[in-house]
Amino acid sequence: MVRTDYRLTQLDALEAESIHVFREVAAEFERPALLFSGGKDSAVMLHIAAKAFWPAALPFPVVHIDTGHNFPEAIEFRDRRVAELGVRLIVGSVQEAIDSGQLVEKRSSTAGRNRLQTPVLLETIERHGFDALFGGARRDEEKARAKERVFSFRDEFGQWDPKNQRPELWDLYNTKIGNGEHIRVFPLSNWTELDIWQYVERESVALPSIYFAHRREVVARDGMLLAVGAYVTPAEAEEVVEELVRFRTVGDMSCTGAVVSSARNPAEVIAETAVTRITERGATRADDRTAEAAMEDRKREGYF
């Protein structure tokens, strides 16, 4: 008599798992916050968070670590989403930290300001006393991420110790921490890039316009197409061309590359992604290519 066809589609199962994670954190932590970059993963994360607590409002603020080198489209999008949801936005500014002399910026054409985000992020966490931070990282993005827990413990210095992670069984998350420690929580751990796009399409999740094809002046550098603008000045030998492009991630403008594309909506992006043979980060993030273990090193220090 028991029906056996009770099953969830891939996207429904992933969404249910993410919702469970959001609620677990809201129930067990005092001061959670959601890290929001304006990128597609954090847009999806925010969308699911809103669903997890519906019809109540989000029970935590949104935090943005602003490099000062952001795409204006991403900032605009951030402000719009925050206003729509009526949540509090907390901005940690890399530029301010540089201006006040707290941070020193190294001159380097490809590294960008990603590494400088870490101290600002940790300072923001400390100042607000956050004990849990949601991040939009996915395990399929990068090798070091593949081994990170959904609830990832950080010590008083914000550091991740890959050799000393808590075993994670069933859906029972260990939320215990001491003073000054915190947990990074990754509700999208089990999503792939394709899942994200299919979900964006199904749920009509709004994204910054730069995710879709548009004309832009770019310059080819280190095998990537960089957007010419305030943060990328073409060198003498470099040729500026106008191309139809889109961005696959939204990072620091100085080191996030575009791909040539004519995809104008999620369905067309999915069609393109289905035949793409280069991973998201490899194609478009100079910061991850510097060393084979670049991400692992940054994560140990406390990066997202």
Which residues bind to another protein, rule: CB under 8 A? 2-17, 19-20, 23-24, 26-27, 50-57, 139-140, 143-144, 146-147, 162-163, 165-172, 174, 176-178, 189-190, 192, 194-195, 202, 276-279, 282-283, 292-293, 296
Residue 20 or residue 128: which is nearer to another protein going by CB?
20
206: nearest Cα among 85, 90, 88, 304: 85
Between residues 72 and 282, which has the closer beta carbon with respect to another protein?
Answer: 282
241 membership: H or E segment, kind and range: strand 240-247
Nearer to another protein, 146 or 230 (CB): 146
Q: Cβ 24 to another protein, closest distance in Å?
A: 7
Look up residue 164 and give its two tokens. 């000393």
Give the separation between CA 208 and CA 43, rounded to whole angstroms: 9
Of 17 and 66, which has the nearer Cβ to another protein? 17
11 vs 98, beta carbon nearer another protein: 11
Choose among 16, 81, 86: nearest CA to 56: 86
Q: What is the DSSP letter of 74?
A: H
- Nearer residue to another protein within complex by CB, 77 or 151: 151
CB 260 to another protein: min, Å: 16
Q: What is the helix, strand, coil percentage profile of the chain, to 5?
A: 40, 20, 45
Q: Cα–Cα distance between 74 and 61 in angstroms, integer?
A: 18
Minimal distance, residue 172 CB to another protein, in Å:
5
Minimum CB distance to another protein smaller for 120 or for 283: 283
User: What minimum distance in Å lies between the beta carbon of 295 and another protein?
Assistant: 10
H or E segment to which residue 227 belongs: strand 224-227
- Nearest approach, Cβ of 96 to another protein (angstroms)? 34
Residues 6+ apart with CB under 8 A from 105: 98, 113, 116
Would you list the DSSP string of 78-119?
HHHHHHHHT--EEEEEHHHHHHTTSS-----TTTTTHHHHHH
- Nearest approach, Cβ of 166 to another protein (angstroms)? 4
Neighbours of 179 (CB within 10 A): 6
* Closer of 59 and 229 to another protein (Cβ): 59
Residue 272 contacts residue 263 (beta carbons within 8 Å): yes
Find the shortest distance in angstroms from Cβ 45 to another protein: 14
Nearest distance, CB of residue 162 and another protein, angstroms: 5
What are the two backbone dihedrals, phi and then psi, of residue 44, each rounded to the nearest 5 degrees?
-65, -40
